[in-house]
Structure 1
Amino acid sequence: MAGKPLLSINDMSIVFTSPDEPDIEAVRQVDLTLTPGKTLALVGESGCGKSVTARAVLRLLDKNADIRTGEIVYEAEGGAVDVVRLKPDSLAMRAIRGAQISMIFQEPMSSLSPVHTIGNQIDEIIVLHERLTQKQARERTVSLLDQVGIPGARERANAYPFELSGGLRQRAMIAMALACTPKLLIADEPTTALDVTTQAQILDLLRQLQDDFGMAMLFITHDLGVVAEVADDIAVMYLGDVVEQGDVFEVFKAPKHPYTQALMSSVPRLQRKSERTRLTPIKGTVPSPKDRPVGCAFTSRCPHAFAPCPTIRPERTPVSEGHVARCHLLTHTKEEALA
């Protein structure tokens, strides 16, 4: 990744605690880097820790979630800040959240207030962070709604979320996230509930807005087709582990971790009738975080698992410049392990 990092997550582990159950490690020693003007796609099956990782950046985790180790270093306007050391409700964190780092949540209908108009919700953010008058804030809100492609922006600002279609609600969420021109935009599966046409429009919009604002973007998804369209770099998560990361084209061309290879093999492809083949599903199911293997998280489903996999966690192994993976096959052969 070229350029100075805007945000670096280093060795971050997140644990969920319960008075009646053992601690559950949801995210394990994650390392991610986000650069201005670039998009990092965070991909993996549901429940692998993608959203938890994103919410940790904004300190929006549940009360029973503890960032047990690591740091989240953000290059704020006043200098580098370790977000982990800020209290979630502190003034310093509030100055970053929503203003310098914003998030588009997965389901706008459950994220927007049903009893306030779209305009009022965006106005509130602008007034809070920009110290503008209510009239000035409304003018900016209308401008933002127009910029994200909502027709009749001034009238739509007075609409409630339930009065808008899914695509318009998603655009309103994007306008809200961009209200204070953030340096980093976190998009948590922003196109999951949309039809294909609207999905394409939203992706085009995000790309255009990124070019306009020069933002870094963390794009969370499980759709590899979307990743190919929007991302510069990719990080593949499985059961809280980042098992492979690097340039998106290099990882797609030559995936090194068996999980990444399995994800690529399970993607449907257009083929001639004479060449049709069945999809290759990933065998087995994701283990419960309570039963996480001591070694490689993918051990129980990996067709290449051998001696060290269940008991020894693989190191981050360089494949090429900027491309790394956690897999024993990169440092050992099965024959060596059995010798």
Structure 2
Amino acid sequence: MEKVSIVFSSPDEADIEAVRQVDFTLTRGKTLALVGESGCGKSVTARTILRLLDRNARIGHGRILFQAEGGQPVDIVSLSSDSQAMRAIRGNRISMIFQEPMSSLSPVHTIGDQIDEMIMIHEGIDRKAVRARTVDLLEQVGIPGARQRADAYPFQLSGGLRQRAMIAMALACKPDLLIADEPTTALDVTTQAQILDLLRALQDEYGMAMLFITHDLGVVAEIADEVAVMYLGDVVEQGNVFDVFRAPQHPYTQALMSSIPRMVRRSERKRLTPIEGNVPSPRNRPQGCAFTSRCPHAFAPCAGEYPERTATGAAHWARCHLLTHDEAPSVTGLKQQRKTVENAPANQGERA
């Protein structure tokens, strides 16, 4: 994605820019985690890649360049959402695991029929061969008794099995890019760990890129290679997951890290540090940094000037005036953190 903005309009109110200048690259075999609190624009960003926006939403500007293996780059923004070219990409070269399987799977069709349909639409093979492949997919994602489960309806499966069925459907055509929109949010921790292990194994097998959307930083540390932090539609920080977790540069990322419960000795216990204030309405978005009203380090330029991306290390950047203005409060501490990252040994392959 290159500086993509997403605008929502209504007949009674002015247009609302819900996502502003989102810019990131997805690489085959790697996982980018998109994190942030509810309503920050994570799911809208993901749905934009598949052109699944609501009728009152449009892409204000920017490009979404997609290059399938062995193919030429295609600007998805230039394609109509219901065009044949877009349909050939959606579900085939780019697939998505939606947040809630019960609202994404058809309640009146069996699991097997829904996966069969996906394969037949994109590959046009006969029904007998399709069903054999569907059963193989269900076995691959760890569903016991796959041949019988293929004839089950979604309400007959547990939450974990429904999620596995969704993963099987998403991988039916061996996509180049998999978008996982909070696939573990509604699951217990044991099933969550199993799903994360499954996604990692399948990514290694297919070599696909993955965009993983979540608000759980523990999940990010478990599965991601890179992380992009969103706040009110802006990506405020992005980098290697090890660097971002070890030395967060943006005050919002620092606040998220400070709010994570940690296991410490009784003598070291202290109350969690909440993020003061509330997220502003997109209708009243600050002209400058979106985090200005809640940032303890905010100073004059923050409210009026949109911060540029500032490199803070190898493949690590943040949008924050504190990193560029010498007169900024607390800038010394932030610059010291930046030096810590720059002087640290390279460890790009290690997970947090």
Q: TM-score, normalised by structure 2?
A: 0.92
2:187 equivalent in structure 1:
194
Indicate whether 1:47 and 2:49 are aligned.
Answer: no
User: 1-side partners of 2:260 and 2:52: how far apart?
Assistant: 32
1:184 equivalent in structure 2:
177
CA contact (8 A) 1:306 1:334 kept: no
Per-residue CA shift, 1:72-114, capped at 9, x if unaligned?
A: 0001353110000000111100110000000000000000000
Indicate whether 1:26 and 2:18 are aligned.
Answer: yes
User: 1-side partners of 2:260 and 2:200: how far apart?
Assistant: 24
User: 2-side partners of 1:209 and 1:78: how far apart?
Assistant: 22
User: 2-side partners of 1:99 and 1:83: how far apart?
Assistant: 14
Indicate whether 1:240 and 2:233 are aligned.
Answer: yes
User: 1-side partners of 2:258 and 2:71: how far apart?
Assistant: 46
User: 1-side partners of 2:28 and 2:157: how far apart?
Assistant: 32
User: 2-side partners of 1:136 and 1:267: how far apart?
Assistant: 49
1:96 equivalent in structure 2:
89
Pairs within 5 Å for 1:24-173: 24-76=16-68, 77-173=70-166
Indicate whether 1:252 and 2:249 are aligned.
Answer: no
Q: Which has the higher strand share?
A: 1
Indicate whether 1:280 and 2:280 are aligned.
Answer: no
1:3 equivalent in structure 2:
none
Per-residue CA shift, 1:113-167, capped at 9, x if unaligned?
A: 0000000000000000111111111111100000000000000000000000000
Instruction: Give the 3-state SS of the residue equivalent to 1:310 in structure 2.
Output: helix
User: 2-side partners of 1:333 and 1:238: how far apart?
Assistant: 25
Instruction: Give the 3-state SS of the residue equivalent to 1:317 in structure 2.
Output: strand
User: 1-side partners of 2:60 and 2:45: how far apart?
Assistant: 13
Question: Given residue 26 of structure 2, which amino acid in structure 1 is its aligned partner?
Answer: L
User: 1-side partners of 2:61 and 2:198: how far apart?
Assistant: 36
Per-residue CA shift, 1:295-315, capped at 9, x if unaligned?
A: 000000000000100110100
Q: CA RMSD in A?
A: 0.9
Could you tell me how far 1:335 is from its partner in structure 2?
A: 5.4
Equivalent residue in structure 2 for 1:268, among 240, 261, 269: 261
User: 1-side partners of 2:192 and 2:16: how far apart?
Assistant: 35
User: 2-side partners of 1:73 and 1:175: how far apart?
Assistant: 26
Could you tell me how far 1:273 is from its partner in structure 2?
A: 1.7
Per-residue CA shift, 1:227-246, capped at 9, x if unaligned?
A: 00100000000000000001
Could you tell me how far 1:320 is from its partner in structure 2?
A: 1.4
Indicate whether 1:11 and 2:3 are aligned.
Answer: yes
Equivalent residue in structure 1 for 2:321, among 319, 328, 339: 328
User: 2-side partners of 1:277 and 1:144: how far apart?
Assistant: 48
**Given the superposition, is the C-alpha separation of residues 335 and 262 from structure 1 closer, same or farther in structure 2, using an over 3 Å criterion?**
closer
Runs of 5+ unmatched residues, structure 1: 1-8
Could you tell me how far 1:278 is from its partner in structure 2?
A: 0.8
User: 2-side partners of 1:151 and 1:72: how far apart?
Assistant: 39
Runs of 5+ unmatched residues, structure 2: 330-352
**Given the superposition, is the C-alpha separation of residues 210 and 335 from structure 1 closer, same or farther in structure 2, using an over 3 Å criterion?**
closer
User: 1-side partners of 2:179 and 2:327: how far apart?
Assistant: 40
User: 1-side partners of 2:276 and 2:128: how far apart?
Assistant: 57
Could you tell me how far 1:321 is from its partner in structure 2?
A: 1.9
User: 1-side partners of 2:159 and 2:328: how far apart?
Assistant: 54
User: 2-side partners of 1:270 and 1:11: how far apart?
Assistant: 40
CA contact (8 A) 1:41 1:227 kept: yes
Instruction: Give the 3-state SS of the residue equivalent to 1:20 in structure 2.
Output: coil
Please list every run of at least 4 consecutive aligned residues from structure 1 whose deviation after the TM superposition is greater than 2 angstroms: 333-336
Could you tell me how far 1:276 is from its partner in structure 2?
A: 1.2
Question: Given residue 58 of structure 1, which amino acid in structure 2 is its aligned partner?
Answer: L
Question: Given residue 217 of structure 1, which amino acid in structure 2 is its aligned partner?
Answer: M
Q: How many residues align?
A: 328
User: 2-side partners of 1:91 and 1:98: how far apart?
Assistant: 13
Could you tell me how far 1:271 is from its partner in structure 2?
A: 1.3
Instruction: Give the 3-state SS of the residue equivalent to 1:103 in structure 2.
Output: strand
Question: Given residue 279 of structure 1, which amino acid in structure 2 is its aligned partner?
Answer: L
